[in-house]
Amino acid sequence: MRPTKYSPPLPRMKPQPQNIGAMFAHRQRKREQRILRIRETLELRDEIAHEVRLWRSLGLEDEWSAGLEGEDRRDAGWSTPLIAQVKSLEGMLYADVERAHAVFSPEVMERVKGARRRREVWRLNKARKARGEEPVFPERSKDEETLRAVKRAQREERLAEHKGQ
């Protein structure tokens, strides 16, 4: 399955597990919410700047709202956290873009190819069994044998721990 902004590259599974589909839907909702929050935050920043300009144009500035220069401006206290929030949200959107440009790792590719081979063997053996023939089991690759040995050792270790308790 090709990567999208909602998912990293994943092998296509039929039927697709519900939790994978739910993950995509959740990421899509969150992305839409982030975009809305960015718009709202930028609108709020613009409204605050407009209000400060209005106060200044009406001559309502006093010692507390006077427009100081540079970083000490009275309205600068509002814009800094709003801009920080927008940058944080944009960072999350950039993560979506990076996710969309991700590629399959070699390990995942090997697992997918192995799963496809096993599926084809299963289908062929099912047809052979229906015809009354003996099933055929092709040899596994070195990587598949190594992986099976590691999993077997882990399973035996868990069983030994369970019996020891």
Of the pLDDT bands very low, low, confident and very high (cuts 50, 70, 90), residue 69 is low
Query: 11 and 114 in contact (C-beta within 8 Å)?
Result: no
Q: How far apart are the first and last CA of the chain?
A: 43
Query: 4 and 100 in contact (C-beta within 8 Å)?
Result: yes
d(CA 163, CA 135): 36
Query: 27 and 6 in contact (C-beta within 8 Å)?
Result: yes
pLDDT for the residue 34: 93
Token pair 């096993």: residue: 118
Section 88-115 average pLDDT: 83
Q: What is the pLDDT of residues 11-40, one digit of tens each?
A: 667 787 888 888 888 988 998 999 999 999
pLDDT at 91 over 80: yes
pLDDT for the residue 9: 65
Strand ranges in 89-162 using DSSP code E only, listed in sequence order? none
pLDDT for the residue 1: 52
Chain centroid to Cα 146, Å, comes to: 30
pLDDT for the residue 138: 78
Query: 20 and 10 in contact (C-beta within 8 Å)?
Result: yes
pLDDT at 99 over 60: yes
Q: Please tell me the pTM assigned to this model.
A: 0.55
